[in-house]
Amino acid sequence: MTIRNLRKVFAAVVVSVLVLLSGVVLYRSSKKITEQSHLSLLSDQAESVREAVKSLTIDEAGLFLQDFHRVEVKNGKPMWEVRARDARYYAGEQLALVTDPALTVYRKKRSKVELKSDAGKLHLDGDSLTRAELEGNIVIQVDESLTFTTDQAVYNRTEGTLTAPGRVMFSGPGYQVEGSGFRLSLVDHTVEIYSDVSSEFRHGAQVPFVIGAENS
């Protein structure tokens, strides 16, 4: 083979290699663009999913809040206050489901009623609490002289009452009363026990409320 022929063969080989390399470069470039397109698409889809989950959390599953705290202040003074380990708040229904709530109701002369339970449902009207439904190991402390324990109770702020359908026990200095079903008025300071009442009063007992029983 002549030198001229060798040069032709060499040139053909070089051209072939260059074409092959250009194909590889074009393939890799195309692959990179495709991968970027896929990544961009996945990013858009992920953002759509995040927005959908966010919408679901707020609208359907409620807004989850930890260390829940809410208070209503009027004329510079608190009217009521609630703290809870966590809460799930439904804005559309103005409802909050709370865990380990501690509700404080402030009365005239700044005396207060404190309620604690395992769980609760708070009915709200804007910034105001209208009703609280509590359940599980409820302890109701009225000032320092009256303590109630029960498993279910409802605080009606409009009426200024606490009611319980089940077994209830309350006690204070020198006395203890048990019964089934009760109504406690924070307005006229009366306690009504509906049935199965048993009581013990010792000398010098200090009873801050008027206690009545429908069936003893």
State the CATH number of the domain containing residue 179: 2.60.450.10
Q: Clarify whether residues 89 and 2 are in a common domain.
A: no
Question: pLDDT tens across 29-65, in order?
Answer: 444 445 455 445 445 544 554 454 344 444 456 799 9
Question: How confident is the model at residue 60, as a pLDDT?
Answer: 56
> Which of 61, 76, 91 lies at the terminal end of a domain, its last residue?
61
Q: Clarify whether residues 41 and 114 are in a common domain.
A: no
Q: Clarify whether residues 129 and 102 are in a common domain.
A: yes
Does 210 or 18 have the greater pLDDT score?
210
Question: How confident is the model at residue 52, as a pLDDT?
Answer: 42
Question: How confident is the model at residue 102, as a pLDDT?
Answer: 98
Q: Are strands 95-99 and 119-125 parallel, antiparallel or unpaired?
A: antiparallel
Question: pLDDT tens across 167-204, in order?
Answer: 999 888 888 999 999 999 988 888 899 999 998 988 87
Please give the backbone phi and psi of residue 145, each rounded to the nearest 5 degrees, phi first: -110, 0
Question: How confident is the model at residue 191, as a pLDDT?
Answer: 87
For 18-27, 45-54, 62-71, which range has the lowest pLDDT when averaged over its residues? 18-27
Residue 106 has a CB neighbour count (10 Å cut-off) of 17
Query: Which residues make Cβ contacts (< 8 Å) with residue 174, sequence separation at least 6?
Result: 201, 202, 203, 204, 205, 206
Q: Clarify whether residues 55 and 67 are in a common domain.
A: no
Question: pLDDT tens across 128-165, in order?
Answer: 999 999 999 999 998 777 899 999 999 999 999 999 99
Q: Clarify whether residues 53 and 29 are in a common domain.
A: yes
Q: Clarify whether residues 23 and 86 are in a common domain.
A: no
> Which of 61, 82, 98 lies at the terminal end of a domain, its last residue?
61
Q: Clarify whether residues 78 and 171 are in a common domain.
A: yes
> Which of 24, 40, 61 lies at the terminal end of a domain, its last residue?
61
171 burial via Cβ count (<10 Å: 0-12, 13-18, 19+)? middle
Question: pLDDT tens across 101-121, in order?
Answer: 999 999 877 688 999 999 999
Bridge partners (DSSP) listed for residue 169: 149, 178
Q: Clarify whether residues 72 and 127 are in a common domain.
A: yes
Q: Clarify whether residues 112 and 56 are in a common domain.
A: no
pTM here?
0.67
Q: Clarify whether residues 47 and 87 are in a common domain.
A: no
Q: Which domain holds residue 15?
A: 1-61
Q: Clarify whether residues 139 and 153 are in a common domain.
A: yes
Question: How confident is the model at residue 8, as a pLDDT?
Answer: 44
Gap between the terminal Cα atoms of the chain: 128
The total domain count for the chain is 2
Question: How confident is the model at residue 65, as a pLDDT?
Answer: 92
Q: Clarify whether residues 50 and 76 are in a common domain.
A: no
